[in-house]
Amino acid sequence: MKKLLLALMASLLIAGTAAVVTPTSANAAPGSPRCMTKYEWNRIHDGQTRARVSQIVGNWGAVTDRTYYGDGTRTVDVSYRQCKANGRPASSWNTVWISFSTEMLYGKYVWDSCYDINWDTGNCIGRTVWDEWAERGVTRYPRVDYKGSWSSVW
């Protein structure tokens, strides 16, 4: 009987240690992999990438809209299912959405071929100048630019 109890305690100790060491989603609340908790919602801020948001929430959400603009920027709207207070997914209509977008970066040095004129010869003199309206390119990863509102879940 004593050996049986020792074996049982050893197996419980090993199982308990394995449960503690087992990695979970980076920062998602335990037990809420399919929904977003209010705590996770409050940790999301403007400027975070979609990858960072998914690390916080524990899932990628569902893309509900994609918009592409002529200047190369884009917007992606993502819906996340809300969690009830007990951590279980709420009804399918209880969702929150976040808009991620890229932005056009402006301002760069450009070559102005006729920055100045040589008054003796009448020729143009070129020079590199800062143009604050020149397009530098689009940011690579969409970032949070708008969070919808959290509604109470029943």
d(CA 52, CA 134): 30
pLDDT over 90 at 43, yes or no: yes
Question: Would the pTM of this model clear 0.85, i.e. be above it?
Answer: no
Query: Where exactly are the structural domains of the chain?
Result: 2-103+139-147
Nearest to 148 by CA among 60, 82, 67, 57: 82
| pLDDT band with cut points at 50, 70 and 90 for residue 110 | confident
Other Cβ atoms within 10 Å of 29 Cβ, number: 19
Write 23-31 long-range contacts (CB < 8 A, 24+). Answer: 25/55, 25/58, 26/55, 26/56, 26/58, 27/55, 27/56, 27/58, 28/55, 28/56, 28/57, 28/58, 28/59, 29/58, 29/83, 29/87, 30/87, 31/87, 31/88
Intra-chain end-to-end CA distance of the chain, in Å: 51
Other Cβ atoms within 10 Å of 58 Cβ, number: 22
Cα dihedral across residues 36, 39, 41, 47: positive or negative: negative
Which DSSP helix (H) or strand (E) runs through 21?
helix 2-21
pLDDT tens sequence across 6-17 = 566 666 666 554
Least confident of 16-20, 38-42, 50-54, 107-111: 16-20
The tokens describing 115, both together, are 């920055």
